[in-house]
Amino acid sequence: MFEGFRPRDVPLALISTFLFAVSFPILKYALRYSPPLLFAAVRAALTAIFFVVFFALIGRRIRVPRGRALTASILVAFFSATYPSAAQNLGIIMLDPRSAATVSSIFQSTTPIFITVLAAVFLGEPLTRGKAFGAAVSFTGIILLSLEGKDLEALKSAATLGGLLILSTALSYSVSGIVTKKTLEFYPRLDLLAWSSFLSALMYVPLMGLVWFFGVENPSPEKVLLPPVFISLALLSFIVGGAVMIIWYRLIDSYPISRLSYFNYLLPLFAGLVSFIFMGERLSPRSLIYAALILLGVYIVQRPEGGRGGKG
C-alpha cells in the first residue's frame, strides 16, 4: 500500500486520512444542532478566512487565477467543496442515526471507482473486465447495505436518498481530484487551494439567499454560535479544510491520484472506530458483510493488472 511513497509522506497521508474520517462523526454531532446548509455555508466562509490569514502569516500574495486557471479554480471549488459539503450534510441527516457516520464513510470510500470510470471516459484509460466486475461488486454491496435486509420498497426511503447523496459526493471528489491534478501542472497548489476556498464561499451566497427566500431552513446566526456547532466548525474549517488540505494538496502534487486513493480503504476503519467509541455507532453482522463487499469491489478496481497485460 505504501510502496513508492517517501517515508516522511506516509505518516502525513495517514494523519490526513484519519482527520478526513473523523469529520464524519463530527458532522453527525454538529448537525444535531445546526441546519445542514447553513453549517456548510459557514464552514466555507471560515475556510476562506483561514487562507486569508495563512497567506498573511507567510507573507505571500495570492496569485490571481486567469483563463484556464480561473476555470479550473471554479470547477475545483464546486466539486471539492461547495457541492460535496452541502450534499454530505443533507445525506448524513437522512441516514439511520445508529450508523450514519460509519455508513457515510463507507459510501465515500468508493471514490477510486469513480476515478477509474472518469479516467476511462475522459482520459482514454482502459476499463478492463476486471475493473468493471469490481465496480459491479462494490455497487451490489451498496444496494444491499441500503436495503439492510428489507424489501425493495426500502429503496424509496429517505435513508436511500441520503445514501445516494453521500455516494454523489464520492463522484464529486473524483472529478475534483482529476481536475486538481491537471491544474497543478500550470497553477501553484496553494493559490489553487486558496482561490477554490474563496469561490466556494461565494457560491454559498446565492444558495443561502434561495434557502432563506423559500424557507428551506432558518438561517439563524445564533445556531452556529452554539458551542457544539462552533467547535465543530472550527475543527472542520481550520484543521480539516485548512491545514490538512494544504498537506493533501502537496501529496496530490507529488503522487498519482490512483496511489493516494488507496488511503480511501482506511476511511471506514477510522470513521467507524471513532464513531463506535464516541457515539456508540455499530453495524450489524450483515451490514459488515455488505461493507466488506463494497471495499472488496474497490480493491478489485484498484489492483494492478500488469500480469495480465491490463487487457479485458
Q: What is the pLDDT of residues 97-112, one digit of tens each?
A: 999 999 999 999 999 8
**Residue 126 lies inside a defined structural domain of this protein:** no
- 241: containing domain: 21-100+167-285
* 154, amino acid identity: A
How wide is the angle at C-alpha 88 spanned by C-alphas 110 and 123, nearest 5°?
40
**Residue 308 lies inside a defined structural domain of this protein:** no
Say which residues have a Cβ less than 8 Å from residue 227's Cβ, sequence separation at least 6: none
Q: What is the pLDDT of residues 114-161, one digit of tens each?
A: 988 888 887 677 788 898 899 999 999 998 887 765 555 555 678 889
Per-residue pLDDT band at 308 (split at 50, 70, 90): very low
Domain count, the chain: 1
**Residue 311 lies inside a defined structural domain of this protein:** no
**Structure-block grid coordinates of residue 7:** 517515508
Give the ranges where 59-157 is alpha helix by DSSP (H): 68-77, 83-94, 100-108, 111-122, 129-147
**Residue 94 lies inside a defined structural domain of this protein:** yes
Say what the pLDDT of residue 252 is: 93
Closest listed residue to residue 112, CA positions, set 29, 37, 174, 188: 174
